[in-house]
Structure 1
């Protein structure tokens, strides 16, 4: 038997492969958006605007520096749509494969070497996962596009071709948690229309909860099994709790706000409250003017955006699993327990350190970016912090200051969107896949804490 085929450098470093892949997509998208045919007036877009839009689309964020429906031509909108699809499905595929690799606790070098030797080991699993992601994504987007198309055509009088275009665009944007809309006021014209808002909410939840959860739920339903993995239980429970908290907090804080929920009836308030309770999961659509929200609402939304959605999905943030694991660690420490138990399982110390590292680095990145933007702009802390957290969490919600930021500030947000989208995934996978043995331990000494 001969030697196994050499493994390409990127395959030996999956985190680097994710970054390179998305960097290439951003480069291609920027070049396409710089073409004169991409704008309505036929002129070439500014480089910063093209780069910002490409990064926002690939990282499925939704922040914009120019008005999407009036500035970009149909060609430009299709480029954005393609970037959203590549960024959404691409990150789901890569992150899911990394998650499976980590969950199986198999060394990457060993797995790749074995696959190279046998030419088949694990290959079928990879193809099956990728195929399932693509199929599920297309099915969900089509299912969501149907009611949207029908509503635009039958109720709002759009031409059939235009209605299909609007339905498909917003279905793709919502499932991929992108937040791009083909209306100048985003979803504000449809704030109380459940036939528009509820399909978008459903797509956002399915895309943001994470493909590993959807895959396991489907498998368990088919087999009738009642045993769920720890990841699925943590994700579903935490996601549901944060969803209820988000909806309740928005309704409570905005109930009497004359610029948002105040003038609406009970039914309208319920639709808007549900819509904006889900959007901080990193979707970025808005059905009321975010700039008119009360400071308390902005702060709650900041926290929800920072947490984000499920792992290996289209959502950003530090992820609900990271947040939940840290909560379990705190609870165990408060109770004085030597180990952390989560839903009938013991949590490894390595996982605790990984969750803490991801969360604290996220806090540090948001803090530094906020200070930089405050020094570059005259805007209030509320608005700047909201913008920074929205970019880091790849949400896309904005109080309306994005386009008014100087080019340097927009570049800061551009970098933040890229780091916020890829940072938690690549960092978590790098930490989990790293296997280093310490051959000695130093004497123990306890410093004063608190």
Structure 2
């Protein structure tokens, strides 16, 4: 008796329906989901982390400002700027360290000075603070990552306070710079021999530069050392800007609530005491070593351009 093996079973032909079967669709969907998850994870690591987000914004601003300063329109002689000069000026302005490598009033044109001025303002407000203000103005709300980084930059620990603190920061900056601008106008008008356009621009530039603690000056001759009407507003504005937004905010809140200095935060107390000690020590040392230096403050202030120039 011979045994016959059953013929092998053929798999049914699925034709084109195989491409639309449930297992294939689920497999394709899972692959796409995995790719999307990987893609989102990379985005999270690069952009959504507060520290990395700040670095990305700051790096982007440096590239933009450097590119603008490289253009011939940014210089008085209408020539291309050397990359080191443009790059160093951009970083110096955005970081508000205030170390110009060229004479701002002579080397840069009006366009270049405007670029430097906006860079100082962005750097003074803080990269993430400014970015959060833009986001708040556009969408009326902030993402959690923006709230975290802005809270860290502004010195507040409560994410719910970020929106209110941003308003105070912007308002304080505008008020301080406008007051400095107005106080500078009378004496700068006399220094510039009645040139109103030059006076307005210099007052605006000095006001922003002083409050944000940078060393950029729009006048080729520098600060007018014998003009108290110029030096004193710049001095006061620079001192207030040095304290920082958390200290100014705490002082304003305590003043509104009529709280005694004992209720100031530890950060405010340390900042005020340390600043006072450093200013007093620096002043004493400066007077000690420079008292007999007759060439330090010349009797004649070069002032602005002569009339007709």
Counterpart CA distance in 1 for 2:70 and 2:106 is 16
Q: CA deviation at 1:8?
A: 4.3
Which residues in structure 2 correspond to 1:19-418 (within 5 Å)?
19-91=55-127, 93=129, 97-98=151-152, 104=157, 122=159, 124-187=160-223, 190-226=224-260, 227-260=263-296
Residue by residue, what CA displacement relative to the aligned partner does 1:82-133 show, whole Å, maximum 9, x if unpaired?
Answer: 11111111258388621567x63x8xxxxxxxxxxxxxxx3x5211111211
Secondary structure of 1:234's aligned partner: helix
Tell me how far apart the structure 2 counterparts of residues 84 and 211 of structure 1 sit (CA, whole Å).
Answer: 16
Number of residue pairs the alignment of both structures matches: 240
Relative to structure 1, the CA distance from residue 66 to residue 150 in structure 2 (aligned partners, 3 Å threshold; closer, same or farther) is same
Kept in 2, the 8 Å contact 1:96–1:212? The answer is no
CA distance in structure 1 between the partners assigned to 2:214 and 2:100 by the alignment:
11
CA 1:135 to 1:141, structure 2 compared with 1: closer, same or farther past 3 Å?
same
Q: Report if aligned partners of 1:35, 1:44 keep a CA contact under 8 Å in 2.
A: yes
Give me the TM-score of the superposition, normalised by structure 1. Answer: 0.50
Q: What is the deviation of 1:179?
A: 1.1
Structure with larger Rg:
2
* Unpaired segments ≥5 residues, structure 1: 107-121, 265-450
Q: 1:75 Cα shift?
A: 0.4
Aligned residue for 1:87, secondary structure, equals helix
Gaps of 5+ in 2: 1-39, 131-148, 300-309
Deviation at 1:150, TM superposition (A): 2.0
Specify the SS of the correspondent of 2:168.
helix
* In 1: Cα distance, 2:154 partner to 2:287 partner: 38
SS at match of 1:165: helix
Give me the whole-angstrom Cα distance separating, in 1, the residues matched to 2:191 and 2:225: 15
Q: Is the contact between residue 145 and residue 167 of structure 1 (CA under 8 Å) also seen in structure 2?
A: yes
Q: Quick one: distance in 1 between partners of 2:292 and 2:150?
A: 42
Cα pair 1:149 1:168 within 8 Å, conserved: no
Aligned partners of 1:230 and 1:21: how far apart in 2? 31
After superposition, the C-alpha distances for 1:303-362 in whole angstroms (9 at most, x for unaligned) are xxxxxxxxxxxxxxxxxxxxxxxxxxxxxxxxxxxxxxxxxxxxxxxxxxxxxxxxxxxx
Question: For residue 404 of structure 1, what is the aligned residue in structure 2?
Answer: none
1:56-76 deviations in whole A, cap 9, x for unaligned?
111112222222111111000
Q: Is the 8 A contact 1:68 1:77 kept in 2?
A: yes
CA distance in 2, matches of 1:257, 1:61: 28
| Shift in Å, 1:9 | 3.9
- Label 1:96 to 1:251 Cα distance change in 2 as closer, same or farther (>3 A): farther
SS in 2 for 1:180: coil
The alpha-carbon deviation at position 20 of structure 1 amounts to 2.0
Partner of 1:402: none
Residues 1:8 and 1:135: Cα distance change in structure 2 (over 3 Å): farther
**CA root-mean-square deviation:** 2.6
Distance 1:130 1:100, change over 3 A: closer
C-alpha spacing 1:49/1:158, structure 2 compared with 1 (3 Å): farther
Structure with the greater relative contact order (CA < 8 A, sep ≥ 6): 1 or 2?
1
Please give the secondary structure, in 1, of the residue aligned with 2:102.
coil
Question: How many Å apart are 1:243 and its aligned residue?
Answer: 0.9
How far apart in 2 are the matches of 1:158 and 1:92?
40
Aligned equivalents of 2:154, 2:113: Cα separation in 1 = 34
